[in-house]
Amino acid sequence: MTDCIFCKMVAGEIKPDTVYEDEEVIAFRDINPQAPMHVLVVPKEHISTINDLDEAHAPLVGKLYLVARQVARQEGMAERGYRTVMNCNEEAGQSVFHIHLHVLAGRDMRWPPG
Ligand code: AMP
């Protein structure tokens, strides 16, 4: 997708602050962090929203969580605790239409989320 900012990161046209990368996934620091640690775990395949997932994506979605766990570990947050969030569509707060798992840590989290 030529006009997708996360696809531009995957293609290397925009350089994020990357904390993890492999052949399927890239993870980088959010430009507008909502917690002391705020990383986005992004599949390299362009998938607009959770609604666009199909059965074949199940391993990839599982991988996003494994990478979230790894990033939390490498940032020293795994035992302390972290929150993972994936917004779907505008009313839920999605602003970039290429799925991504937010991984937030380093402060007390409230529930319910706003
Ligand atoms: P969402 O609102 O759930 O779609 O999350 C999109 C996230 O992408 C927001 O938290 C933004 O701060 C973040 N974001 C947007 N542009 C960039 C960028 N260039 N580098 C890093 N994070 C970004």
Q: Is 56 in a helix, a strand, or coil? A: helix
**Could you report the per-residue pLDDT of 33-44, keeping only the tens digit for each?**
999 999 999 999
**Could you report the per-residue pLDDT of 46-70, keeping only the tens digit for each?**
999 999 999 999 999 999 999 999 9
Assess whether pLDDT exceeds 80 at residue 31: yes
- Give the whole-angstrom CA distance, residue 73 versus residue 1: 32
Q: CB-based contacts of 98: which residues, under 8 Å, 6+ apart?
A: 1, 4, 5, 6, 7, 42, 46, 47, 48
pTM of the model: 0.98
- Beta strands (DSSP E) in the chain are 18-21, 25-29, 37-43, 82-85, 101-105
**Mean pLDDT across the stretch 4-15?**
98
Q: Best mutation site among 32, 50, 51, 102 for ligand 1, i.e. most ligand atoms within 8 A of its Cβ?
A: 32
Q: What is the pLDDT of residue 114?
A: 82
Closest ligand 1 atom to Cα of 28: 21
